[in-house]
Structure 1
């Protein structure tokens, strides 16, 4: 049997590794479920549909006229069936949205609108309520906005007068869907980064109740404020969070990411312990001299034990992440493949570094128990420093340390991508971050090997 596979089996199938893998998987799923339950568990099934509609209602002495737009989760138009219903559910009138997604429908004494597309059907009440604020222009002509949209938006703001939706963002370009009770007006959008610093702005001049246009989002946007109105009495300004990925995916990803918090906090200690068992104890106890007296060079022994431990970290990370991904797939019928991939990268980055760190220290510290203690102490010191840096240093310095100096810089990159899904506007250079991570891993491995070669066994 290949010595690497043999040592990998000895390390991965250790009772301590298997028990803690199961324990952290169960605890992680529990944490993830709490996040899921707080964010998206109670959403209606329609939150996952690929059907959305918006509209503006006009009431002329009991006759309701609705101008609307039907679209998918990317903001693209849909040809759908539109019905006006009475309070008893009777169909008053029926029409279809055109190839551009727009429709106009009218009927007397209507109280509800229903939109049907494929196997989906969604409704919205026409009568004014807290959800749909009514602005009376004249006693005979009350206007208000109606809508029913999924949770796949990137941004949503409803001031009562104006509804703004941004959806289908790819490469910082998305669809802006603007619904206004006024046929003409100006909408100003201002983009802010995570520090609430203005990074750009955009002005939309609209001349229709419903305006559909492309919008370029400034890279690094975390918040968007909108300001507009066609008269001082109806002016408004709101600022809300912008999601670089659809909100529902963001919520799911947050739940998935939260599952690894305990794993990242404690499983590196298991990897440090593996380095102690597979390597440190052998050096401290003098067993290495007997092992390499056989047809086995120091390089073979060093690389075999190093590689088998790293392989344990990789396999453990994959198993943990897939368990989490499958669990969330059962909950929301959606397998978060991208964030699961990023989680694997995060965990491999962390586990590999601390295993190699302990492996390297074993060659410089004679006592195996001292190596174990110092390695665990360094782990907690590094984690504490990582938590304190944002408190005492400006954001740009924290980014440099986190993405370039940090010995687990790829973990930081993967965490960023988990909630952004794009490198546009990222506060790091991917190539430098990868090089920094590899420099730590390869550098510590070589340092340990050079010391091992000269060690008097």
Structure 2
């Protein structure tokens, strides 16, 4: 005997409308990601699984160009044995991942090679994007004045980058240049690379700009330090103690990940919108129309109203789960095949986003199908979805102070708002109680289903 839940799942998921729309949106989502990827103009070498940064600075007093090359893997660990060719001269990184070269002329070409994979770092008339590189200018300390605040942050991506400091005078003291490399997503450590002379400080601050931790360093030349990042760090400030500190927000995602996630969220939003409407209609066909047909057939089968109600409901939930999973996997696999990296949590949150928002409105429709006629339930469910979405947007625009409450607590689609924000910035919105938001979302699923069942159980059909 066929399991009723499995039987209803097949009737739900294998409906022609669901399969057609699923195929269309998977293909459309893949197309959106592919178009976003090509709009970035990434060279294939940018995706090789190692990173090289070369800095060039000039001592104005002597005219000598000082070249520092640093190679590291995607966890921020130094790589030895990376060949860096500067013009016609070849150098190999040491056990600390460095090469240090002084030359009388500015280089015209720089390439790196590791395990047969070559990156072009500098070539005449050649420019290309550096995947995952977030730049915040450059910095020099001359006398007691900081000129052009500089902090560069490189975050877990495959990078080849030339940073030219040759216009900066460093015959003065103190002087510093700083890189810091975040070793992976949500890492608790950072790989700091200091080049300079003098005493410096590193401050870690929270979202409210309060200092969590301060580290003081004395540098004479190049210093390579792995520093633990305190939890709740949102800003990192580097500079000369008691003189001036240059700070920047600590972006938790690489630039390329941000550029890809943005269209990815667009594809997810379109998928969710379409499948909310589709599954409200599926609930109409699988459950709402039963009231019009009557339930006489139940009397000839060993099944109760509760079994019928929840079997039909959970068959739709499982169909939503499968559709969301297939869509999320298709988008994630496409992104990974193009970029050679994508954080696993991106696929996870995409799935949670689509699955949750569709199930919420699917559940709400069950309440209205129990309360009213099938046709009225269909119309009210779809209309309410649009009304709530528009109302929250308008009220939040008119009263910004209510945005968090409306978007993350009251909104039936609060999970989509939270996950969209997190996927872009890798932290949740300031001031939002995550626990309350999650409970609210769960209640938006449970209460309509339970309420609909109580009403359905008492109906005289």
Q: TM-score range by the shorter chain?
A: 0.7 to 0.9
Note the C-alpha offset of 1:99.
2.5
Q: Distance in 2 between matches of 1:287 and 1:385?
A: 37
Alignment of structure 1 residues 71-82 onto 2, 5 Å: 71-82=72-83
| Structure 1 unmatched runs, 5+ | 138-144
**212, 219, 231: which is aligned to 2:224?**
212
Alignment deviations for residues 185-220 of structure 1 (CA, whole Å, 9 cap, x no partner): 646768585xxx635476765523434332636637
After superposing the two structures, state which structure 1 stretch, 301-310 or 436-445, moved more.
436-445
Note the C-alpha offset of 1:349.
0.6
After superposing the two structures, state which structure 1 stretch, 426-435 or 25-34, moved more.
426-435
Note the C-alpha offset of 1:375.
0.5
Residues 357 and 375, structure 1, Cα contact 8 Å, conserved in 2 = yes
Relative to 1, partners in 2 of residues 1:124 and 1:332: Cα closer, same or farther, differing over 3 Å? closer
Helix, strand or coil at the partner of 1:212 = strand
Q: How much is the aligned-residue C-alpha RMSD, in angstroms?
A: 4.2
Partner of 2:132: none
Note the C-alpha offset of 1:269.
0.7
After superposing the two structures, state which structure 1 stretch, 303-312 or 77-86, moved more.
77-86
Q: Distance in 2 between matches of 1:44 and 1:229?
A: 40
Residues 69 and 97, structure 1, Cα contact 8 Å, conserved in 2 = yes
Partner of 1:142: none
Helix, strand or coil at the partner of 1:198 = coil
Partner of 2:311: 304
Helix, strand or coil at the partner of 2:197 = coil
Partner of 2:53: 53
**162, 167, 180: which is aligned to 2:182?**
167
Note the C-alpha offset of 1:263.
1.2
**362, 365, 380: which is aligned to 1:358?**
365
Residues 175 and 212, structure 1, Cα contact 8 Å, conserved in 2 = no
Helix, strand or coil at the partner of 1:70 = strand
Partner of 2:174: none
Q: Distance in 1 between matches of 2:293 and 2:83?
A: 81
Relative to 1, partners in 2 of residues 1:231 and 1:169: Cα closer, same or farther, differing over 3 Å? same
Partner of 1:183: 197
Residues 407 and 417, structure 2, Cα contact 8 Å, conserved in 1 = yes
Relative to 1, partners in 2 of residues 1:244 and 1:292: Cα closer, same or farther, differing over 3 Å? farther
Q: Distance in 2 between matches of 1:68 and 1:62?
A: 19
**440, 450, 460: which is aligned to 1:456?**
460
1:321 is aligned to 2:328? yes
Q: Distance in 2 between matches of 1:178 and 1:389?
A: 47
Residues 342 and 418, structure 1, Cα contact 8 Å, conserved in 2 = yes
Alignment of structure 1 residues 99-118 onto 2, 5 Å: 99-106=95-102, 111=107, 112-118=109-115
Partner of 1:414: 419
Note the C-alpha offset of 1:335.
5.4
Relative to 1, partners in 2 of residues 1:211 and 1:247: Cα closer, same or farther, differing over 3 Å? farther
Q: Distance in 2 between matches of 1:183 and 1:27?
A: 54
Q: Distance in 1 between matches of 2:94 and 2:164?
A: 28
Helix, strand or coil at the partner of 2:183 = strand
Partner of 2:147: none
Helix, strand or coil at the partner of 2:220 = coil
Note the C-alpha offset of 1:358.
0.8
**116, 119, 139: which is aligned to 1:119?**
116
Residues 157 and 165, structure 1, Cα contact 8 Å, conserved in 2 = no
Partner of 1:265: 273
Residues 252 and 425, structure 2, Cα contact 8 Å, conserved in 1 = yes
Partner of 1:26: 27
Note the C-alpha offset of 1:382.
1.8
| Structure 2 unmatched runs, 5+ | 128-134, 143-149, 169-176
Q: Distance in 2 between matches of 1:236 and 1:377?
A: 54
Note the C-alpha offset of 1:317.
0.9
Note the C-alpha offset of 1:299.
1.0
Residues 155 and 254, structure 2, Cα contact 8 Å, conserved in 1 = no
What TM-score results when the alignment is normalised by the length of structure 1?
0.77
Q: Distance in 1 between matches of 2:345 and 2:391?
A: 29
Relative to 1, partners in 2 of residues 1:299 and 1:320: Cα closer, same or farther, differing over 3 Å? same
Q: Distance in 1 between matches of 2:101 and 2:20?
A: 63
Note the C-alpha offset of 1:356.
1.1
Partner of 2:42: 42
1:13 is aligned to 2:14? yes
Relative to 1, partners in 2 of residues 1:85 and 1:364: Cα closer, same or farther, differing over 3 Å? closer
Note the C-alpha offset of 1:391.
2.2
Partner of 2:130: none
Note the C-alpha offset of 1:172.
5.5
Relative to 1, partners in 2 of residues 1:439 and 1:121: Cα closer, same or farther, differing over 3 Å? same
Q: Distance in 2 between matches of 1:310 and 1:4?
A: 11
Q: Distance in 2 between matches of 1:454 and 1:210?
A: 78
Alignment of structure 1 residues 355-434 onto 2, 5 Å: 355-365=362-372, 367-394=373-400, 397-421=402-426, 427-434=431-438
Partner of 1:333: 340
After superposing the two structures, state which structure 1 stretch, 266-275 or 398-407, moved more.
398-407
Note the C-alpha offset of 1:441.
1.4
Q: Distance in 2 between matches of 1:3 and 1:27?
A: 34
Relative to 1, partners in 2 of residues 1:452 and 1:133: Cα closer, same or farther, differing over 3 Å? closer
Q: Distance in 2 between matches of 1:447 and 1:321?
A: 31
